[in-house]
């Protein structure tokens, strides 16, 4: 069978076999983590082992880990559960932050996708009242890494709490919640090569958190509902492996940079977004002017290469990426963006196949433009 060239790790990273095995073993366990009998205690132990691994991956305290159904729920929980009336978020946050509350105040980013710290400080100075600042560590579309430590310093000076969506950063770059001084941090298992449908919110000692699910005392009363043992067990193993694979992950930058150099040689009109900023080592988001991202994604898919478009097509209408829009990219360019994201299954051969296939896709587009001009 043809090997799929999967270059969409930021959408979901293929599960590590050890994580899948841990899930299968967990499925074989009988019992509820809340039960006091021996079966319950075994399940509880498996949950607590995973909690330690997840906490260790991001320098958090195990007692502060609240398991959730994923990054979306963790982001919702932080924003709604922190209990702050004012919530300030950057313009490039994931929709699970941007749509988690009403009346969010938006902090702009510059052309390179980096948050405007001056604007953050002004917003916090302008109005008093207890605030929550929510800022992602790394952007899912461009890979741009935000100056979170500096933002925390400003926010804390103004008495604000800080939540960080570290869903894309964890497992890709070192993340240390305590060193960053964060109050809340969100994680998702399927972005670190664990299972989809599992995540966590790490909560610093003393940070307030009102639960948003009721009817059970699980997770220290912060998230009601019987724990998803297979998901949590798979998450724990993925977190352990992610911690030891950081150096290997950093090495992906060489392939990513090589890919970008070759794309630019082939098509100098290509624009790479966030290239001037610190970025995740695995992510490249670029636009080929004149060819819609969706068209490129479909043509690449037909050739067995999986990447994402920088814009999403919903109900037949192409929606421009809010991230690129916030970076001041004009609409005609933004619709042409695609995202290539590498990971642990990627090979040098995948990069070659991508370049070969993308070159063919581009040639088809050029031919179509020439034919249209001649008609
Ligand atoms: N935050 C970021 C930055 C993401 O990229 C994603 C998923 O793409 C999420 C949150 C949501 O995570 P989940 O898919 O686990 O709900």
Task: List the domains of the chain with CATH numbers.
Answer: 5-13+247-374 (3.90.1150.10), 17-244 (3.40.640.10)
Most informative mutation of 96, 171, 232, 310 for ligand 1 (most atoms within 8 A of CB): 96
Mean of the per-residue pLDDT values of the chain: 95
98: part of which helix (H) or strand (E)? helix 95-98
Q: Which pLDDT score, from 0 to 100, does residue 367 have? A: 74
Q: How confident is the model at residue 370 (pLDDT cuts 50, 70, 90)?
A: confident
CB of 168 closer than 6 angstroms to any ligand 1 atom: yes
pLDDT reading at 319 higher than 90: no
Residue closest via CA to ligand 1's atom 8 equals 11
Residue 1 pLDDT: 52
Mean pLDDT of the 54-62 span: 98
> For 47-69, what is the mean pLDDT?
98
pLDDT confidence tier of residue 310, bands split at 50, 70 and 90: confident
| Confidence at 225, pLDDT banded by 50, 70, 90 | very high
Is residue 89 over pLDDT 80? yes
Asked if the model's pLDDT at residue 316 lies above 70, the reply is no
In the predicted model, is pLDDT for residue 2 greater than 70?
Answer: no
pLDDT digits (tens, 9 = 90+) for 6-39: 999 999 999 999 999 999 999 999 999 999 999 9
Does 175 have pLDDT greater than 60?
A: yes
**Quick one: which atom of ligand 1 is closest to the CA of 72?**
16
Give catalytic status of residue 313 as yes or no. yes
pLDDT of residue 314: 55
- At residue 365 the predicted structure's pLDDT band, cuts being 50, 70 and 90, is confident
The pLDDT of residue 251: 98
Continuous H helices in 137-228 = 148-157, 177-180, 218-221
Mutate to test the pocket of ligand 1, among 8, 11, 69, 72 (most ligand atoms within 8 A of CB): 72
Query: How do residues 70-82 score in pLDDT, each as one tens digit?
Result: 999 999 999 999 9
Predicted confidence at residue 317, as pLDDT, reads 63
Please give the C-alpha separations between residue 369 and each of 225, 287, 309, 362, in angstroms, as whole numbers: 56, 17, 21, 11
How are the residues of the chain apportioned to helix, strand and coil, as percentages rounded to the nearest 5? Answer: 45, 15, 40
């Amino acid at each position: 069978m043809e090997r799929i060239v999967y270059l969409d790790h930021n959408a979901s990273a293929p599960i590590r076999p050890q994580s899948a095995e841990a899930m299968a073993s967990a499925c074989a366990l009988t019992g509820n983590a809340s039960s006091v009998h021996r079966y319950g205690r075994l399940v509880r132990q498996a949950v607590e082992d995973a909690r330690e691994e997840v906490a260790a991956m991001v320098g958090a305290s195990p007692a502060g880990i609240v398991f959730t159904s994923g990054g979306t729920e963790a982001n919702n929980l932080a924003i709604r559960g922190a209990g702050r009336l004012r919530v300030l978020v950057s313009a490039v946050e994931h929709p699970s932050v941007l749509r988690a509350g009403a009346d969010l105040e938006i902090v702009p980013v510059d052309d390179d996708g980096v948050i405007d710290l001056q604007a953050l400080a002004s917003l916090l100075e302008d109005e008093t009242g207890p605030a929550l600042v929510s800022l992602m560590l790394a952007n899912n579309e461009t890979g741009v890494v935000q100056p979170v430590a500096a933002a925390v310093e400003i926010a804390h000076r103004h008495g604000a709490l800080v939540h960080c969506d570290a869903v894309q950063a964890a497992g890709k770059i070192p993340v240390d919640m305590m060193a960053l001084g964060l109050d809340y941090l969100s994680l998702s298992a399927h972005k670190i090569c664990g299972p989809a449908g599992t995540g966590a919110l790490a909560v610093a000692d003393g940070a307030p958190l009102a639960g948003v699910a009721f009817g059970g005392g699980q997770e220290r009363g912060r998230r009601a509902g019987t724990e998803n043992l297979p998901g949590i067990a798979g998450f724990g193993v993925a977190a352990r492996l992610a911690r030891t694979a950081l150096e290997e992950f950093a090495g992906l930058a060489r392939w990513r940079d090589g890919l970008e150099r070759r794309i630019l040689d082939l098509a100098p009109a290509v624009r790479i977004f966030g290239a001037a900023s610190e970025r995740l080592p695995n992510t490249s988001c670029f636009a080929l002017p004149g060819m819609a991202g969706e068209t490129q994604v479909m043509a690449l898919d037909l050739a067995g290469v999986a990447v994402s478009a920088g814009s999403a097509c919903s109900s037949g209408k192409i929606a421009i990426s809010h991230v690129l829009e916030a970076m001041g990219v004009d609409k005609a360019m933004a619709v042409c963006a695609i995202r290539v994201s590498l990971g642990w299954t990627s090979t040098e051969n995948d990069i070659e196949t991508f370049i070969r296939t993308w070159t063919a896709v581009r040639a088809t587009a050029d031919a179509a433009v020439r034919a249209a001009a001649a008609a």
